[in-house]
Chains A and B, each alone.
Chain A
């Protein structure tokens, strides 16, 4: 069975701290790994990773994928209260010409002022 596991499930830090969120996976027919941020409703796209070892960056957020060890990390530096959200990791599977996402449980990140 395809499985995506995120850790920690919950994290509380102070504004300005750096955080690292983890995502490991065990799937067949891997195509890509995606990170989403979910505040109240719709998950919003952050990154898509397909190749090992290539860091993707967007402002204070960065992410990298290790396809040999089957995990990814999402780093947030100089955290702000607006970074408080649930961060979802999803693996895109490609099966017989079709693709879909399998999600982890999410990491609830709380940034205290």
Chain B
């Protein structure tokens, strides 16, 4: 147990469907990050939150992607009208804030779009 929980672990969906993933960070961590990792590549930054505020979004995040962290605790990442190119591992990480390096990653949600 890494302390950051992601659900579901695996998701298979048909092209065009919407999917939503959830991340529960370590409770005292106020920063939460979403990354996407495709086969053979390192994780790519998607977006991050400090408490409930979404402070940065990558240009990789098209308008079909939306993320929320409504109460500054768990976060959701929704992908609308999924495409085959969205197939990847979606990783969540949390961090306690400034002057620390404690990025703890969850086990990820593997999305397959068929």
Contacts and interface: CB of A to CB of B under 8 A. Distances in A.
A97 B97 CA distance: 10
A41 B41 contact: no
Interface string B100-114: 010111111000000
A73 B44 CA distance: 21
A42 B2 contact: yes
B98 interface: yes
B48 A45 contact: no
Interface in B29-60: 31, 33, 35, 40-45, 48, 50, 55-56
A103 B42 contact: yes
Contacts of A41: 89, 107-108
Contacts, number: 58
Contacts of B48: 98, 100
Main secondary structure of the interface of B (DSSP, over half): strand
A42 B107 contact: yes
Contacts of A90: 42
Given A98-B55, A100-B33, A42 B108 contact: yes
8 contacts: A34-B103, A41-B89, A42-B91, A43-B91, A48-B101, A90-B42, A100-B45, A100-B48
Interface of A: 4, 6, 32, 34, 36, 41-45, 48, 88, 90, 92, 97-106
By Cβ-Cβ distance, the 3 closest A-B pairs, closest first, are A103-B42, A41-B107, A42-B105
